Structure 1
Amino acid sequence: MPAPDRAAEADERPPSPAVDRALTILETLVAADAPMTLTALAHAADVPLATCASIAQTLEIRGYASRTVVGRSHFWRPTLKLSGLAAQLDRKIDLSSLTQPFLRTLVDLTGMAAHVGVLEGTLVIYVAKVGAPGMVQFNTYPGKTAPFNLTALGRAVAAHLPEAALAPLLKRLIPGTGPNAVPVTPARMRAMLAEVRERGYAVEDEEEDAGIGCIAAPFFDAQGEVAGSIGVTGWVERVRGASLTEVVNAVTTQSALLSRELAAGRTP
Structure 2
Amino acid sequence: MTVHEEAGAKPASPAVDRTLTVLETLVAAEDGLTLTALARDTRIPLATCASIVYTLEARGYAARRVVGRSHFWRPTLRLYDLAAPLIRKDDLAAVAQPHLRLVADELNMPAHLGVLDGASVVYVAKAATSGFIQFDTYPGKVSPFDLTALGRAIAAYLPDEALAPLLTRLSKGMGPKARKATSRALRAQLAKVRDRGYALEDEEEEADIACVAAPIFDSDGGVAASIGVTGFAKDLAVRRLSVAADLVVRHGREISAELGCCRGTEGHP
Fold-level similarity (TM above 0.5): yes
Q: 1:253 to 1:206 in 2, by over 3 A?
A: same
Within 2, Cα distance between the matches of 1:188 and 1:87? 36
Matched, 1:142 2:96: no
CA offset at residue 227 of structure 1? Answer: 0.6
Matched, 1:112 2:66: no
Give the root-mean-square deviation of aligned CA atoms: 2.2
Matched, 1:251 2:248: yes
Within 2, Cα distance between the matches of 1:58 and 1:188? 46
Structure 1 runs (4+) greater than 4 angstroms displaced: 57-61, 86-92
Q: 1:139 to 1:60 in 2, by over 3 A?
A: farther
CA offset at residue 238 of structure 1? Answer: 2.5
Corresponding residue for 1:263? 260
Identity of aligned residues (%): 49
- TM-score, normalised relative to structure 1: 0.65
Aligned residues: 187
CA offset at residue 91 of structure 1? Answer: 4.7
CA deviations on 1:174-213 (whole Å, 9 max, x unpaired) are: 1101011010101000000000011100001000011111
Partners of 1:178 and 1:209 within 8 A in 2: yes
Please state whether the residue corresponding to 2:138 is helix, strand or coil: coil
Corresponding residue for 1:123? 120
CA offset at residue 133 of structure 1? Answer: 2.0
Partners of 1:237 and 1:243 within 8 A in 2: no
Q: Which has the larger radius of gyration?
A: 2
Which runs of structure 2 are paired with 1:1-268 in the superposition (5 Å)? Answer: 61-62=15-16, 90-91=86-87, 93-94=89-90, 95-263=92-260
CA deviations on 1:43-93 (whole Å, 9 max, x unpaired) are: xxxxxxxxxxxxxx9857536xxxxxxxxxxxxxxxxxxxxxx99964554
Code of the residue aligned with 1:217 in structure 2: it is: A
Long gaps (5+) in structure 1: 1-56, 64-85
Within 2, Cα distance between the matches of 1:195 and 1:92? 28
Q: 1:59 to 1:228 in 2, by over 3 A?
A: farther
Within 2, Cα distance between the matches of 1:159 and 1:240? 23
Q: Name which of structure 1's ranges 238-247 and 150-159 shifts more when overlaid on structure 2.
A: 238-247
Please state whether the residue corresponding to 2:176 is helix, strand or coil: coil
Long gaps (5+) in structure 2: 1-10, 18-81, 263-269
Within 1, Cα distance between the matches of 2:123 and 2:143? 9
Within 2, Cα distance between the matches of 1:229 and 1:96? 11
Within 2, Cα distance between the matches of 1:150 and 1:219? 19
CA offset at residue 240 of structure 1? Answer: 1.3
Please state whether the residue corresponding to 1:232 is helix, strand or coil: strand
Please state whether the residue corresponding to 1:204 is helix, strand or coil: strand
Please state whether the residue corresponding to 2:259 is helix, strand or coil: helix
